[in-house]
Amino acid sequence: MAPLCVRRLEELPPDALALLARAEHDGIELGAPWLRNFLGTMPELCQGAYFHLLCREGRAVAVLPLLARADTAQRGRVQSLANYYSALWAPALDPTLTAAELALLLRDVVRRHAPLRSLHLAPMDPDSRAWALLRAALRLAGLPAWDFFAFGNWYLRTEVDWAGYLAARPGELRNTIRRAEKRLLKAGARVEIVTGGERLVTATRAYEQVYAASWKQPEPHAAFMPGLIRTCALHGWLRLGVVWLEERPIAAQLWIVAHGKAAIYKLAYDEAFKALGSGTVLTARLMCHVLDVDRVAEVDYLMGDDAYKRSWMSQRRERRGIVAYNPRSPRGLMGAAGEALIRLLKPLRDKARP
């Protein structure tokens, strides 16, 4: 077994890229196209990116994308190559990889990032093979680890079309959609769904205009979203919905359809036109599109337990994270002791609450 480390996505060999492509079926955040835009639009993260590889008989069997901060406050802390834009993270693993083999790679991570204090790996699917293998590998590598809550994730698994889906929704939501449709029709608004082509630039600008007029804070990395839209269009994943009132965009949503799943990634509306309910109508139209045209098996509302998601989705799961400490580092040992104490005292604190 040979652990390796490269700093740039372009340096990954074809077999490692193939592992990322396979992992991408669980979420586009795990694949090379996402990572290329992610790193290309955030240079400060690019400087701390590491791709740790494990090779067996000359072939990559694991890719561990990590981020090591250089600033003093974060020194010794290595985390998953992910941030607030990422709804999922996981290493790319060969189906034959064992926990003992992955432990070899983790030991190499500790060595290369010495003096490593802690590993923070999130957000992950706690029901995935990658999660179970990582937990086992961390134990074998001598890195005590604990899991933590990242965020709630509302989703829908479905085999029905739009009509069947709508019939199963709460009556309140059906009525809200019907009333909003009438208001938009009366106002003369129209809905457009762009997947690429000559309307891509116009739709991207419309999205940015709506986002700027919404209640949301400006993007911390202005180039990320336009880059993601272009990436999705290039790979056939883009479903960019826009509601137009005459020539003014008043609502926009980015849905990503890949590998049989639709991810509701970003949504916004112009607050000046909130009363029209354009966001509700746009969600309904995009849902209809992904069910009847794309025929996806799953729709995912990604991050957060916002109350409105319960009306559109049918199931909830959690994304969780793993924090592991290096007990051979003084700061790591202190971190592990502190974590153990917090976990020990939590049941007592919960019991003491009225």
Domains and CATH numbers, the chain: 2-152+319-352 (3.40.630.30), 159-296 (3.40.630.30)
Residue 187 pLDDT > 70: yes
pLDDT tens digits for range 79-89: 999 999 999 99
Q: Report how far residue 252's alpha carbon sits from residue 240's, in angstroms, rounded to the nearest whole number.
A: 7
Mean pLDDT over 234-248 rounds to 97
Average pLDDT over residues 185-211: 97
Cα torsion 89, 91, 92, 96: sign: negative
Reported pTM:
0.94
Q: pLDDT tens for residues 126-184?
A: 999 999 999 999 999 999 999 999 999 999 999 999 999 999 999 999 999 999 999 99
What lies within 8 Å, CB to CB, of 106 at 6+ separation is 119, 137, 138, 141, 143
Reading the block at residue 196, the tokens are 């690429």
Read off the pLDDT band of 350 (50, 70, 90).
Answer: low
- Name residue 238's beta-bridge partners: 256
Cα-based distances in Å from 58 to 4, 13, 16, 61, 261:
11, 11, 11, 9, 34
pLDDT at residue 289 in the model: 98
Reported confidence tier of residue 347, pLDDT bands at 50, 70, 90: confident
Q: Give the pLDDT confidence score for residue 344 in this predicted structure.
A: 84
Q: What is the mean pLDDT of residues 239-244?
A: 98
pLDDT at residue 72 greater than cutoff 70: no
Q: Please give the average per-residue pLDDT across 189-200, as a whole number.
A: 97
pLDDT at residue 193 is higher than 70 = yes
Task: Confirm if 298 and 156 have CB atoms less than 8 A apart.
Answer: yes
Report helix angle 224-234 to 32-40, nearest 10: 150
Report pLDDT for 352.
Answer: 61
pLDDT at position 349: 66
Helix (H, G, I), strand (E, B) or coil at 110: helix
Residue 145 vs residue 351, higher pLDDT? 145
More confident residue, 37 or 45: 37
* 249 phi/psi in degrees, rounded to 5: -75, 130
DSSP 336-351: HHHHHHHHHHHHHHHH
Distance separating alpha carbons of residues 210 and 260, to the nearest angstrom: 28
Tell me if residue 61 falls in helix, strand or coil: strand
The answer to whether 242 touches 192, Cβ cutoff 8 Å, is yes
* Mean pLDDT in residue range 213-239: 96
- Predicted local distance difference test score (pLDDT) of residue 69: 77
Band of the pLDDT at 348, cuts 50, 70, 90? low
The answer to whether the CB of 299 falls within 8 A of the CB of 264 is: yes
Q: Of the candidates 74, 84, 60, which has an alpha carbon nearest to the alpha carbon of residue 5?
A: 60
pLDDT at 1: 81
Average pLDDT over residues 25-36: 98
> Could you report the per-residue pLDDT of 291-316, keeping only the tens digit for each?
999 999 999 999 999 999 999 999 99
Percentage of the chain lying above the pLDDT 90 cut = 90
Region 187-194: mean pLDDT is 97
Query: What pLDDT digit, counting tens, does each position of 243-289 carry?
Result: 999 999 999 999 999 999 999 999 999 999 999 999 999 999 999 99
Helix (H, G, I), strand (E, B) or coil at 353: coil
